[in-house]
Amino acid sequence: MSRILVSDQLANEGLEILKAVKEFQVDYRIDLKPEQLKAIIKDYDALIVRSSTKVTADIIQAAARLKFIGRAGVGLDNVDLKAATQKGIVAINTPAGNTTSTAEHTMSMILALSRNIPQACASVKAGKWERSKFSGVELHGKTLGIIGFGRIGSTVARYAKAFSMPVIVFDPYISLEVGATLGVQMVDLKALIKGSDYITIHIPKSAETKNLIGEAEFQSMKKTARLINCARGGIVDEAALAKALAEKKIAGAALDVFDEEPLPANSPLLKFDNCIMTPHLGASTSEAQINVAIEIAETIRNALLGKGIMNAANFPTVDAEAYKTLEPYINLAYRMGKFSGQLITGRISAVKITYSGVVSKYKVAPVTLSLVNGLLTPILGETVNFINALEIAKERAINVHEVVSTMEEEFVNAIRVEVKTDKEPFAIQGTLSANQKPRIVKINNVYMEAVPDGYILFIQNNDKPGLVGAIGTLLAEAKINIAGITLGREAPGGLAISAVNVDSNVPEKTIERLRSTKDVLYVKLLKV
């Protein structure tokens, strides 16, 4: 008999699915303290949580027989994925359950902002009747700009079309052809900012997207533009937004998410009547709660009964014996993908993966999944995992092509990746060291031996004397310790590449100083 612990509130519809299986014992124990959960988790095969329960490394280590952790929601921020993976526990989420709720909340915010509904409601309740004060605008014919075109963004586009709104989209990883088939126009971010009457955000928060909408973007917007963010706090620079509202650079904003939640009482955004705010309600509908409960219950049920694993965030499908051999290659592939995903520019149209040596003798599907997962993770964040990576690539018209090489290659056991985009192509090659640790041995035409782990400063420069010393000096001044440095060059005096492993994050100020150093052409901080 499989024992399942549900430690957070879960809709009854989900609980009933699990209780209906005679092979299951389901315990519903909410409000457990961490020490209580740690004490009992050893007796369970599956754990289902929402956001309240924190599944830490300590709890995972105490889980003697745990096979699955299910999160009824999109994010897995409250689950230590590294510890779960090391323990061989599959972490599962429900990426589709709240799509409709969040998309509908976005449209609600657009409508409320357009017709001044919260302000007018407050006025009437205060005993006033100010019809002329709250005159609004129609959505008909207004251009909606959508930043991010995943499940939620594409759903919002469909809703907007019902209001006769032309839709333009910025998503550098969606092809023009896919956009055309969905009836939207793909544009770059600058064109979207300048051309939109409404701008709505549907991308994950990452180092790339932090403060994506800042002062420069507000300066470029129409004075009649309205901004909506129901994605993640931190994508919009709140100080810049407050300034734009104060200076009447835009007509208004509607926010469901914030840098700090709950929103501090001293937030400057609170003083603007044309800034509508809700307390992170995007997924807060009864239907969404039921949907995620049903989705996680069905997924955990099928997994425990051996009927396949869906929406796993950390584990590929592969038999145990093969996995022992493939595990270091799966790790290598993920790190190569994540390394590449942070350097590639433009819309990806094709990924060619060539396997040689030991790895080529096995079914390489889990390795490919791992690589594509790594490649798309910097772009899509938590919405991509080992299971859905190829499907998402297909949705985005990215052709993934595997080649198993039987010819003699430069490196005996290697993975080579060639990425085609509408800008510059990118190629990377990786292998394993003697102790099975991942190494990147070639980037485009430059040979090197980089360690894809932790924080990495990726630097392109002209091959000139003294540059390595200058890099070291700047990092020392910022008290950044160098863990290792790898150099490579196309030819003496030509293009050179440095991969500098550092022990901590590098402040943007230091990165800017590196960029301004003579003969430095490009600098980017990677997190692998």
Instruction: Place domain 1-96+283-315 in its CATH homologous superfamily.
Output: NAD(P)-binding Rossmann-like Domain (3.40.50.720)
51/522: higher pLDDT? 522
What is the identity of the amino acid at 265? A
324/357: higher pLDDT? 357
Contact 429, 417 (CB under 8 A): yes
Query: What's this model's pTM, rounded to 2 decimal places?
Result: 0.72
pLDDT at 118 over 60: yes
Contact 217, 187 (CB under 8 A): no
Which fold does the domain 316-444 belong to in CATH? 60s Ribosomal Protein L30; Chain: A; (3.30.1330)
Mean pLDDT, the chain, as a whole number?
A: 93
Domain 99-277 is of which CATH architecture? Answer: 3-Layer(aba) Sandwich (3.40)
Instruction: Place domain 454-528 in its CATH homologous superfamily.
Output: ACT domain (3.30.70.260)
**Catalytic site residues?**
232, 261, 280
- What is the pLDDT confidence band of residue 82, given thresholds at 50, 70 and 90? confident
- What is the pLDDT confidence band of residue 320, given thresholds at 50, 70 and 90? low
**What is the pLDDT, as a whole number, of residue 39?**
97
pLDDT digits (tens, 9 = 90+) for 477-515: 999 999 999 999 999 999 999 999 999 999 999 999 999
Q: What does DSSP say about strands 144-147 and 198-201: parallel, antiparallel, or unpaired? A: parallel
**What is the pLDDT, as a whole number, of residue 314?**
76
Q: What residues does each domain of the chain span?
A: 1-96+283-315, 99-277, 316-444, 454-528
Q: Which residues is 502 bridged to in the sheet? A: 455, 482
Contact 185, 167 (CB under 8 A): yes
**What is the pLDDT, as a whole number, of residue 387?**
64
Question: Between 117-125 and 99-115, two packed helices, what is the crossing angle to 10 degrees?
Answer: 60
Tell me whether domains 1-96+283-315 and 316-444 share a fold.
Answer: no
In angstroms, rounded to a whole number, what is the distance separating the alpha carbons of residues 428 and 172? 21
Question: Between 508-515 and 467-477, two packed helices, what is the crossing angle to 10 degrees?
Answer: 160
Q: What percent of the chain has pLDDT over 90?
A: 78
Sign of the four-CA dihedral 408, 409, 411, 415:
negative
Please report, for residues 14, 310, 352, 393, the alpha-carbon distance to residue 6 in angstroms, rounded to integers and kept in the order given: 10, 19, 42, 33
Please report, for residues 320, 353, 366, 459, 523, the alpha-carbon distance to residue 456 in angstroms, rounded to integers and kept in the order given: 33, 23, 26, 9, 10
SS3 22: coil
pLDDT digits (tens, 9 = 90+) for 14-46: 999 999 999 999 999 998 999 999 999 999 999
pLDDT at 318 over 70: no
Q: What does the DSSP 8-state code read for residue 269?
A: G
SS3 200: strand
pLDDT at 288 over 60: yes
Question: Between 286-304 and 99-115, two packed helices, what is the crossing angle to 10 degrees?
Answer: 160
pLDDT at 327 over 80: yes
Tokens (6 digits) for 30? 């909410």
What is the identity of the amino acid at 336? M
Q: Which residues is 146 bridged to in the sheet? A: 169, 200
Burial class (CB in 10 A: 0-12, 13-18, 19+), 142: buried
